[in-house]
Structures are given as C-alpha cells and as structure tokens.
Chains A and B, each alone.
Chain A
Amino acid sequence: MRYLALALLLVGPIACVEVATAPGVCPTFCPSGAIESFDTIFTDIIVRDSSYRGYVQPYQAEAMTAADIPGVIDSRAFLVMNKMFTTTTVRAGDTTTVPVVADSAQLRLTLLRRDTLATNLRLNLYSVPVTADSTATFASLDPYFTSPPVDSVNISAVLARPPVTDTTTRRIWGDSIWTDSAGHVIRQLDSGRVLFIYWHLDTLKAPLVQADSGRLGYGIRVAADSLATVSVGTLDGGSNAFFTWYYHYTVPDTATATPDSVRTGVQPLAPSFDSFVTDRAVTPLDSNLTVGGAPSARTLLRVDLPKFLHDSIDVVRATLILVPVGPVSASPADSFEIRGKPVLTDVGAKSPTSDLLMGRTTIHANSADTVRMELTDLVRNWALDTTQTTSLFLGQVPEAASYTEIRFYSSRSTAFRPALHISYVKRFPFGTP
C-alpha cells in the first residue's frame, strides 16, 4: 500500500498533462460565439491639433545637410575649429615662448549619408570667417561660398579607383582606403554607407594665424551632375569633423644642449561650432500641421478616443492617416522619417514624450501620397489604460538636420483632416452555449 500511495502521489501530477485542442468544425462543433473583427476609420477623433517650432536649431542637430538641387534647395554646411596654440614653451617653467610653425594639416569629415546614384559627386571646401556662428545666414556667408574653393574632392572619382589594400596602408589606416593624386583619402564604414573624407591641407589652405588664435573656418558645398546632397556629421551627433595640425618649433641654442634643434608635433582639434544655412526661408506656421525643418517643428495631436474602445474590444491595428498639403520638394535621398511619440502629460508645446510605443513612418520626397503611421501598440495601450494621456507628438528624425519639412492638413480642414484607422476585435461572448 505504501508503494501505491507513493505511486499515486508521483503519477498524479504527471498524468494531468492534457491535450484538449482539436481542429474545429464550425459552426457545428464550435462554441456559438465567434471572434469578430471590425474596421473603422475615425475621422473626427483627432482634435485640438497644433504645431510648434523651435525645438532644435540647426547648430544643435545631429547632422548638417549640404545640398545643391537647382530650383529646390541650396544648403551649405560650415564649421569653425577650436583654437590652436601659436607659441609654446620649450621646457616646463619657462617664461619665454617660441613660435609654432604649421607644416600642414588634415581635415576629416564624416559623410553620414549621400545619394549613391549621384554621379560626379564633389565636395568643395571654402574658407569662412572664424566668427561664423548661429547668427550666420545664407546671405551673410554667400560671398565666402562663391569665392574659389580652398580644395575640392571628387568622391565619385575617388571611389571609382581601385582601393589601396596593401598591408602597410591597412596598418596605418586600419582598413583599405581610396585615394586620388591630390592626396585625398576616403575610408568606408558601415558597408560603404558612411564615408570618412580626409583632406590634406598645406599652409596656404590651412594657415595658422595668430590673430585668429589658430582657429579656422571652413564651409562645405556639394556638387554633382544631379542628386547633389550629403549629410555631414556634427558635434551634437558625435560624428564631428576632426582637424589635425602638423607643426614644428625651433629650440633656441641657449635652452638646451642641442641648440637650434627642431621639434615636431601633432595637435588634433574638434570644431567649436558647426551648422548649416539654406537659401530657403523658414516658413511661418499656419493652420496646417508642420513637421520638420530647421529650426525643427513638431505637431501635437490629441486623440478623443471613443469610450467603447476602452471597454469591450481589443485593438489589433491602428493607423494614423495624414494628408499632406503638398509633396516635400527635395532630393529622394533627403526623404526622412517622422515619429509619433506618446505624450506623457499634455501641457502643450512642452509636453514630455516617451520613446516607448512610438510609431514611425518615412516621408518620401516629391510624393503627395497620404501618409500612414502605424500606432497599434500606442492605441492598444490607450484602450487598456484609461489614465493614459491620449496625445502624441509628431517629429522629424533627426531633427533640424535638414531643410526638409512636411505639412499636413489639420482638423480645421474638414475634408482632409487627420484620422485614425482602427481595426479591432470584439470581446468573445463567453458563457453562452
């Protein structure tokens, strides 16, 4: 008996493993209820929608756009390097200094994005005043950008050459490089999507001027047969330009046992400022909904979710529908993403947002198609939790990094107002035979 009792105790739980599910033959051998799907476009639940501008300035952007598309945009990037010391002491504690003489310099730019279909893509480097800052405008810098360039590199031509792959080059550069006869070097990252452009500048192209505290300003324009647009890395994006001084100074004969000896040095510098200017004036906000641009604009949408969506349904798909006022005039490569971020608490333009449950969609340049953004997870969350703020912010990603912006019709436009397309499943009628 003791074995029987033990066996029952052991076998009981194991034997409870069940297989109870079989293919259903409906309706004959299925429950009387059914899982029913419904689909509704709610055209009037986006309310009190507004746009605001000024969240991110061009000089705060993760990238800066250089583009030259006739009739559309002329966008020019510029950067000002940090100070470079022009004198130095020979020994620690010395009160006298000796002048530093620049031998050459190297500028590295990061091209985060380019149109790979562009042919004869060229980057031109211009000298701009070291005083250029956030107040600089397209017009104020135009004289410098229309002067002869300091240097120029034909990216298409360099990349068309065979890469240099010998072991010495790989040891120095860490990877294969592409180069031209003028000494420009290109390294490819991220499977060729990102380019490092190295410029070797002599003292005419990179003069070490004591009056400017060794600072230098450069402007960048892009040119191509067509589709001339690139995105250049910035300080705020962590992919900023790098400037390296190669210099020497002479040790006076009274200072050391090795008189008139020459010492060399290398000084890397980051920019102190980078930004871009365009020939397109910032358009004022109007009754439509604006997203993007520089300075960046965001749109706040408030959703008046019907009560029945809270109670007895399960949202399986929710799509925000936005009708553009017109196509975004830009190069195809300047297509951009907008994100719909849930608002944590609605205090208007400065409402805090969350990155969780956000929706995203791509705005294609030169297309006036209706824009759809999937917001399923967000609307499901709203339906399940009635304490949630049912608002979201639409914003461009990255913000203020480009001249591109899109305008949608707002709820003031009866025919083209924003809408929410919700597919949902009604609660299963449990309990009825």
Chain B
Amino acid sequence: MTGGRAGGRTGGQAGGRAIASFVAVVLLTAGPAARLPAQDSQFGIRGLGTPGKWESVRARSTGGAFAPFDPFSSLTDAALIDMRRMSGSVTGALSRRTVDIGGTETPLRGTRFPVFVIGGPIGRRLVVGGGFSTYLDRTYGISTSDTIVVRGDTIPVTDAVTSDGAVSDLRVALAARVNRWLTVGGGFHLLTGSTRVVATREFGDTSYRNTTARDQVSYEGEAASVSALLDLTSGLRVSGWFRADSKLRADIRGKTVAENDLPNSYGTALLWRPGAQFALAGSATWRDWTASAPNGHNTFNWTAGAELGSPGTGFRLGARGGQMPFGAGPEAPTEFGVSAGLGKQFSGGRGRIDFGVERLERKGSGLSEHVWTFLLGLTVRP
C-alpha cells in the first residue's frame, strides 16, 4: 500500500510536470500564431505559398502515412475518435534547406511549429477537437542584382523582397463513432494569418536613395472538411476524406488586393496492423491547385510508412512522394522524402515525446532543394 501511495504521488508529480511542460510548449508556440510556417520552398514564392504538412511528428516520421489515422494530425477529423481523453500535442521542426539554382547552392534554415492539436471526448461516441496548423507557408526572401537605366545612366541595383508569415488553418472538428466499424468526422476551418513583407532596392550610385516598402498582408478564408474511418477488421482500417476551401482573400490595410481560389482536396488511406507490435500504412491525396495561380498544378501525393513496436512508442519510418502545386513549366515540381523517428512515453503514459528526422528532395524546372528537417513533438494527456 505504501508503494501504491508513493507511486500515486510520483505519478501525480510526474503528471504535474507533464502539464507544466505542455503549458511551456503551448506558450512557446501559441504566441506567434501568425508565424507558423511549415517547410517553406522556393517553389511557393511565385504562387500562393508552400502547403503545410498537417502531420504530427509521429505521422511525419512515417512519411505522413499514419496522418489519416492519427488524432494528433489535423489531416482528417474522424481520426479524433481515437483521442480517448483530453489531450494535446504540439510539433516543432528545425529545417536546414539547401537551394540549388544552376549549380549555386544557398543554405537556408528555419524553425517552425507547424501543428498544434487539442481535443477530448464529450461522450462515449463523440470527440471534439481543434487547433491550428500551417495551411500555406509564405516565408521567403529573394535577392537579385541587376542594372537599370535611369536618367540615361546604367546603374547597378540590388533588390530584395522578403515575406515573413503564413496562412494558418484554425480548425474546430468533431468525430463521431456511428457504429462499431464506422466513424465520421467533420470540421470547420478558418484560414487566417498575415505576412510582413518588405521590398528594398539599393542603388549602386549614392546619388539615389535606397527605397524600402513595408506592408502587412492579411489573409482570410474558410474551409470545411469531412472524413470517415472504416474498420474493416480489427487490424485493417480505411480512411477517406474530402476538404473544400473557399477563396483566399489578401488584404492590405483593409483593402482586398487579391482573391485566389483554393483547392478541393480528397484522399484515401489504408492502415494494416497485423499484430500489436507492427503497423503499416499508406495514403494517396489529390488537390486541384490549377485555378489558384497562373503557375498552379494539380497534385497527387502518396505516402507509405510503418511503425515497429507498440503504438505511439515504437520506431517509425516511411517515405513520401508526389508533386508540388506551384512551379514553372507545364510539369509540376516533384518531391520525394524519407523519414524516421522514435517515440517515448513517460509519466505512466500521460505524456509522449517524439523525435523524427526527414530528408526531402524537391526538383523542378531550373531549381532543386534538399531539406533536412529535425522534428520534436510533445503529446500530453493531463
């Protein structure tokens, strides 16, 4: 009995620390709500941006294959049904990106908090959840040098355009277990965010003053999503989802300067768990970005991944591939990546910390990117 009491105290202290840690992480991430870009890319500059990955560290370590079945990924709403108690999860990512343009490599880096999910059951068959994730990353900077003719003279100039911010997806979702084998979910999404944009021209001739234009672009849009989980057997689960996004309005000082169509997206996924220590999953997603921007492409993306060990604490690996929505030329840029990761539970299962690493290769007309991303996730069940 003594041991039990001691264990109870220890568990309670551990739970308190877990909550404190969770609060710390939330404070770190919730503050810069407008700065939640995911993995940015040069391909998104001449477009609406780079789509975010709505995946927890666990799902992303499997190449994204487990995201449709992961309650802490915001890809599907029906997956929230597996959130058996009030829980929250946050993802942090540190990326090292190398941009290769015509053989010239430029190293870039960034730190992101792309996904935050919180939810909990409100009955035996109902789970409500929400959070935010990156919808479109619009953080980039480009610098060009050229000469222009002013007043009859040829003058060297250096232009720099930077954008810092993202369009975030604020989600409120509901998952309902219809019966033993069917779960449905739906969500409403508010797309919001802003970018701080700066355009600078520096003249090589000191007779000319350098010019800097600054502004803040606010974005607004809405979306709705539905999804379903079908448990065919105890070890086989199928997921399907559909999401419709409205137009994305870009406002500067209250005036709408652009309005762009956002894509409908749909996908399907399969999870096979033949035993308690192994799971395999794969997914396919389609999105129609053609109408969003002049250089938009429809995209198809696939994922495949596995988890070895008990769910949530095992070793994960996976691969992903497909296309990126914006790029020059008739063909969409392609993306291929592999990833791996580990999970570790603590405080008697009240918390879980996930580590992951991802390598992405992106190729398009005239440009390629190589990205290393280091992922850290924290999930707490207070």
Q: Which residues of A contact B (CB under 8 A)?
A: 1-2, 4-5, 8-9, 12, 15-35, 37, 39, 314-317, 374, 376-377, 380, 421, 423, 425, 427-433
Contacts and interface: CB of A to CB of B under 8 A. Distances in A.
Contacts of B308: none
B143 A430 contact: no
B161 A317 contact: no
Contacts of B18: 1
Given A20-B164, A21-B142, A425 B257 contact: no
Contacts of B211: 35, 314, 316, 425
Nearest to B205: A317
Contacts of B14: 1
Contacts of A377: 209
B346 to A, nearest CB: 7
Contacts of A24: 142-144, 159, 161
The interface residues of chain B, by DSSP majority, are classed as strand
Given A20-B108, A29-B43, A30-B142, A4 B21 contact: yes
8 contacts: A1-B17, A20-B40, A21-B108, A315-B209, A425-B201, A428-B197, A428-B215, A431-B251
B28 interface: yes
B361 to A, nearest CB: 17
Contacts of B182: none
A18 B367 contact: no
Interface string B234-261: 0000000000000000111000011010
Interface string B26-42: 00100000000000101
B139 A25 contact: no
Contact of A433 (B92, B197, B208, B293): B293
Contact of B24 (A5, A20, A433): A5
Contact of B47 (A27, A34, A425, A433): A433
A423 B160 CA distance: 19
Contacts of A32: 46
A398 B371 CA distance: 65
Contact of B25 (A8, A20, A433): A8
A23 B347 contact: no
A432 B142 contact: no
Contact of B109 (A4, A19, A316, A427): A19
Interface string B147-167: 010110000010111111000
A271 B48 CA distance: 78
Contacts of A374: 207
B351 interface: yes
Contacts of A4: 21, 353
Nearest to A9: B24
Contacts of A23: 101, 104, 106, 142-144
B111 interface: yes
Contacts of B17: 1-2, 5
- Most interface-central of A17, A22, A314, A376 (chain B CB within 10 A): A22
Nearest to A13: B28
Nearest to A14: B111
Contacts of A317: 150-151, 207-209
B237 to A, nearest CB: 32
Contacts of B210: 316
A27 B365 CA distance: 13
A425 B203 CA distance: 12
A187 B199 CA distance: 56
Given A4-B353, A421-B151, A433-B47, A20 B139 contact: yes
Nearest to A318: B209
